């Protein structure tokens, strides 16, 4: 079939996620046909540097035959069996063991699911179940953050703080509140980052007091907000938040769906920020996106209670710990480990990106260029005033369109441009990424 045939059929029958379908117009969708390394190839013959690793997930890059072989071998041997009741299979058990080895010491169990959203649905039920078992069933409230993202199932979108999502298909799951985000460039530039970080942590304490500490079950947050705009909190933020949570005996859920598996230069974002969370939802980079799989890493405090006091937990999915997905995830983790990918992001690629990406701050359109590990953001500002354009899907969207045409995938959130490339990117490819990003900025100016 030709490109146009795909586009016509696509428009006729295919409802894309997170897409204004009408806005696709006559032009239609770009058809991605194949990929290799850090590059995707479309049906028109364009080769595009994937600065977003798909949707923040293709950590090992495209075309890894070891992952294909792991899937094929498992599909031939045992394509499906479930983990319900008293059955399991080798890939699920081996993956659980590997994850626990990589996780912080106090985490010794994992509950498998199919995606990041399912992981957060599981979190919501586990957290409330935990407190019920502890004889404190009134501890129901979960506090998330404005502009946080935890998925698009009903529980995921309710835990997340995206107003546009809350406004569709509601009402949201009850007893979920949101506090301000530690987004210094967007909301805190009238004070130092450190003061702002402490102020955001104080907002958590104020919300706990407003709801009543006896009613609050957990705080959920991404170590670094991903979809909200690659927002690295000020250094003062996490220590202050941890202190508040400990004081009021409230569980910490660190959503590692993006930050996990090397993105920030550690196996988990929680290790970078020394969070010691009670629960860590995971997905995406767990399998480098080759097959869908997620999980919840469960700390001893919660796991021991669920196991010792909980009886049957009436929760799980047909594809919890699917054998082929688990086999691919296991191989993916083994490759990341054997190839020293996490250390390379921390010691070499992350610092190199920080230097090269940081140079873009010289551009008249850029107010801030930040990165941590292999996640980065550019804050676009009006060159005349230095202020945000403040148009949702405005200048950032334009810049993204130019970069796509110029051979680079970046993502835009309002006037913030984001990158999160595969963790196997080379120095030369980082140079290419920065050159193409600069060209997109020039074209947008």
Q: Which residues contact ligand PLP (rule: CB under 6 A)?
A: 115-117, 120, 149-151, 156, 222, 226-227, 255, 257-258, 283
Residues 390/394/400/406 CA torsion (nearest 10 deg): -120
Lookup: tokens for 412: 């835009």
Question: How far apart are CB 295 and ligand PLP at their closest, in Å?
Answer: 11
Question: Residue 212: which region, alpha, beta or left (left: phi > 0; alpha: psi -120 to 50)?
Answer: left
With the C-alpha atoms ordered 33, 35, 40, 45, is the resulting torsion angle positive or negative? negative
278: three-class secondary structure by DSSP: coil
CA distance readout (Å), 45 to 9, 19, 35, 173, 396: 20, 24, 12, 45, 26
Q: Is-cis flag, bond preceding 171, omega within 30? A: yes
The enclosing H or E element of 257 equals none
**CA 311 to CA 10: how far, in whole Å?**
47
Closest residue to ligand PLP: CB criterion: 116
Question: How far apart are CB 419 and ligand PLP at their closest, in Å?
Answer: 15
Beta carbon nearer to ligand PLP, 52 or 251 = 52
Lookup: tokens for 295: 């999980």
Beta carbon nearer to ligand PLP, 43 or 115 = 115
Lookup: tokens for 350: 């992350």
Nearest residue to 431 via CA among 342, 344, 359: 359
Question: How far apart are CB 418 and ligand PLP at their closest, in Å?
Answer: 11
Beta carbon nearer to ligand PLP, 120 or 270 = 120
Beta carbon nearer to ligand PLP, 149 or 268 = 149
Lookup: tokens for 248: 């009021």
Question: How far apart are CB 257 and ligand PLP at their closest, in Å?
Answer: 3
CB 37 within 8 A of CB 406: no
């Amino acid at each position: 079939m030709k490109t146009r045939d795909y586009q016509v059929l696509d428009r006729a029958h295919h409802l894309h996620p997170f897409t204004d379908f009408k806005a696709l117009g006559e032009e239609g969708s770009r058809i991605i046909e194949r990929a290799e390394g850090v590059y995707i190839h479309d049906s028109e013959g364009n080769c595009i540097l994937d600065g977003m690793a798909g949707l923040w997930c293709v950590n090992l890059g495209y075309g890894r035959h070891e992952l294909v072989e792991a899937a094929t071998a498992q599909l031939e041997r045992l394509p499906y069996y479930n983990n319900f009741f008293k059955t399991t299979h080798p890939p699920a058990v081996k993956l659980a063991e590997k994850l626990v080895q990589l996780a912080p010491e106090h985490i010794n169990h994992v509950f498998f699911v199919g995606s990041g959203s399912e992981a957060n649905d599981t979190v919501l039920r586990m957290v409330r179940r935990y407190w019920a078992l502890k004889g404190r069933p009134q501890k129901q409230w979960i506090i998330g953050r404005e502009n946080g993202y935890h998925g698009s199932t009903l529980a995921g979108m309710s835990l997340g703080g995206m107003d546009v999502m809350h406004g569709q298909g509601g009402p949201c799951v009850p007893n979920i509140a949101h506090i301000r985000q530690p987004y210094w460039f967007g909301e805190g530039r009238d004070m130092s980052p450190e003061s702002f970080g402490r102020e955001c942590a104080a907002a958590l304490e104020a919300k706990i007091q407003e709801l009543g500490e006896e009613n609050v079950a957990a705080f959920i947050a991404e170590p670094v907000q991903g979809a909200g705009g690659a927002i690295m909190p000020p250094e003062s933020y996490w220590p202050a938040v941890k202190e508040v949570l400990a004081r009021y005996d409230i569980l910490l859920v660190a959503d590692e769906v993006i930050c996990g598996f090397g993105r920030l230069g550690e196996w988990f974002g929680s290790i970078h920020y020394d969070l010691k969370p009670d629960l860590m939802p995971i997905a995406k980079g767990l399998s480098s996106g080759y097959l869908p799989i997620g999980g919840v890493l469960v700390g001893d405090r919660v796991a021991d209670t669920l196991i010792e006091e909980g009886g049957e937990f009436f929760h799980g999915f047909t594809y919890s710990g699917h054998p082929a997905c688990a086999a691919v995830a296991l191989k993916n983790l083994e490759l990341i480990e054997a190839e020293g990918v996490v250390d390379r992001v921390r010691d070499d690629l992350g610092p190199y990106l920080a230097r090269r990406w940081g140079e873009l701050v010289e551009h008249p359109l850029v107010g801030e260029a930040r990165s941590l590990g292999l996640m980065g953001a550019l804050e676009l500002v009006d060159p005349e005033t230095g202020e945000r354009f403040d148009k949702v899907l405005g200048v950032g969207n334009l810049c993204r369109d130019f970069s796509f045409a110029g051979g680079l995938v970046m993502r835009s959130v309002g006037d913030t441009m984001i990158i999160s490339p595969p963790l196997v990117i080379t120095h030369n490819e980082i140079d290419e990424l920065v050159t193409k990003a600069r060209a997109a900025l020039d074209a947008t100016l």
